[in-house]
Amino acid sequence: MTPVRVAVLGGGRSSEHEVSLASAASVVAGLREAGHTVLPLTITRKGLWRMDGVDPLALVPGRGFPGADVVFPVLHGPFGEDGTIQGLLESLDVPYVGAGVLASALCMDKVLFKDLMARAGVPQVRYGAIGAERFRVSPKDAERELAGLGLPVFVKPARLGSSVGIARVDQPGGLGAALAQALAHDSLAIVEAASPGLEVECSVLGNDAPIASQPGEILLATGERGWYDYAAKYTAGGMKLVVPARLSEATRERVRELAVEVFKRTGCSGLARVDFFVEDDTVLVNELNTMPGFTETSVYAALFAASGIPYPELLDRLVALALERHEAQRAYRF
C-alpha cells in the first residue's frame, strides 16, 4: 500500500506493560521496513503519553491523531485491549488497527466471551465464574458451586492476559487460595476445567472476509505436567511452536473454521489469535485475543509467516485494514 504515517502506542498501565513495549518495538521496526513513517509513542505505567520523551500529548476529539494517518495500539490487557483506548480513538475519529470498542471489551472479559460462545453452541471447556463480593461473603459456598468442574482446574482473573494471576489447582484444598489470588487482580474470576488435549493456536486476519493461518501447536519445555504460564510464554526456550500442528488435515481445517467463526461472532476486525484445546478430533475454543503478543517471533506473527505472509507484509495489511474499516464506518449516517 502507499506509505502512511503510523502512530504506534506501546506500554500502558496494565501488568503487561513490558510485554507491550517489546511488541511495539517490533511493530515500529516492521512498519519502517514496509516503508511507512512511524511515530512511536509510549504510555507510562501511570498513564502519561510520551512522544519523543515529551509529555503530555494534546488530543482533541474529532481532530484525528497529531501527525498520524492511522494508529496501531500495541497495548495488552486493561486500559489498552479492553475497549478503553479504542473508545478514545473513536472519539478522535482516527483509523486504528484491531478490534473496535465492543469486540475489544467482550473478548477481554473471559466470562462474557464464554457465555456468548455457549449461547452460540461453540464447543469449549466447562467453566464457572465467581465475583469478589460473592467470594468475600461466603468463600466456602463459592467453592462448593465450583466443585462440579472437578480437578484439576485453572483459576484466572476474568479480564487480564499473559497468564497474570493464574493458578492451576490440583488438590481440593487449593481452590480458595487460587480464587483469592485471582480476585486480587480483578473483581471477577473464571474457573475452567483442565483439558487433556493439545494446546493449539490460530491467527486470523481481515475485516469482513477474514482468513485464518495454519494452526500451530504449543509444546512446553516443562513437558506434559507443565502449563502455558507467564514463564513459558516469555522465557527463552519456555515453549516451542510447531507449525502446522500435529493434527489430521480435517482437524486442522476445523480449527481454522472455528477461528474465523469466533472472530465473526464477536465482531472482531483486523486481527485476533484464537486459542484452542484439541482432544483427539474434538476442537474446543478456549479464548480469543484481540491484540496478542506482536514481536516478529510471537505466535500470531509466526503462524502467518509459516502461512506465507512475512512480518512486514502482515503489518502493511493491518494498516490497510484499519484504513478500510474507518472509511466504511464513516459512510454510515449516525
| Strand ranges, E, within 153-215 | 153-157, 167-169, 188-193, 198-206, 211-212
Q: Assess whether 83 and 28 both reside in one domain.
A: yes
Query: Rounded mean pLDDT of 1-13?
Result: 95
Residue 161: per-residue pLDDT: 74
Q: Nearest 5 degrees, angle CA 9-CA 14-CA 19?
A: 60
- Check residue 148 and report its DSSP letter: G
Q: Assess whether 76 and 181 both reside in one domain.
A: no
Mean pLDDT of the chain: 93
**Residue pLDDT, tens place only, 102-139:** 999 999 999 999 999 999 999 999 999 999 999 999 99
Q: Is the bond preceding 152 in cis, omega lying within 30 degrees of 0?
A: yes
Confidence class for position 242, pLDDT limits 50, 70, 90 = very high
Q: Assess whether 112 and 187 both reside in one domain.
A: no
Continuous segment of H or E residues that includes residue 5: strand 5-11
Q: Assess whether 303 and 208 both reside in one domain.
A: yes
Q: Assess whether 16 and 77 both reside in one domain.
A: yes
Query: Rounded mean pLDDT of 283-288?
Result: 97
For the whole model, what pTM was predicted? 0.93
Query: Rounded mean pLDDT of 251-279?
Result: 98
Q: Which residues form the catalytic set?
A: 16, 162, 234, 273, 275, 287, 289, 293
Q: Assess whether 26 and 151 both reside in one domain.
A: no
Confidence class for position 15, pLDDT limits 50, 70, 90 = confident
Q: Tell me: pLDDT of 226 over 60.
A: no
Q: Assess whether 110 and 237 both reside in one domain.
A: yes
Q: Assess whether 68 and 21 both reside in one domain.
A: yes
Cβ burial of 83 (10 Å; 0-12, 13-18, 19+) is buried
Confidence class for position 235, pLDDT limits 50, 70, 90 = low
Residue 138: per-residue pLDDT: 94
Confidence class for position 225, pLDDT limits 50, 70, 90 = very low
Q: What is the CATH number of the domain that holds 180?
A: 3.30.1490.20
- CA 216, 218, 219, 221 torsion-angle sign: positive
Q: Tell me: pLDDT of 56 over 90.
A: no
- Given the C-alpha cell 494446546, which residue does it identify? 199
Residue 222: per-residue pLDDT: 58
- Name the phi and psi angles at 190, rounded to 5: -115, 140
Q: What is the CATH number of the domain that holds 40?
A: 3.40.50.20
- 81: which 3 cell numbers? 485491549
Confidence class for position 208, pLDDT limits 50, 70, 90 = very high
Domain stop point among 148, 170, 193: 193
> 330 lies in a domain?
no
Residue 262: per-residue pLDDT: 98
Q: Assess whether 111 and 131 both reside in one domain.
A: no
- 125: which 3 cell numbers? 471447556
> 240 lies in a domain?
yes
**Segments forming the whole domain that contains residue 145:** 127-193
> 112 lies in a domain?
yes
Q: Assess whether 154 and 28 both reside in one domain.
A: no
CA-to-CA separations, 34 to 2, 65, 151, in angstroms, rounded: 10, 21, 48
Long-range contact set of residues 180-183: C-beta below 8 Å, sequence gap at least 24: 180/135, 181/155, 182/155, 182/156, 182/157, 183/130, 183/132, 183/135, 183/157
| Distance from C-alpha of 312 to C-alpha of 85, rounded to nearest angstrom | 24
Instruction: Report the C-alpha dihedral over residues 263, 266, 272, 277, rounded to 10 degrees.
Output: -70
Domain count within the chain: 3
| Distance from C-alpha of 185 to C-alpha of 75, rounded to nearest angstrom | 18
> 82 lies in a domain?
yes
Query: Rounded mean pLDDT of 139-143?
Result: 93
Q: Assess whether 89 and 139 both reside in one domain.
A: no
* Residue 246 one-letter amino acid: R
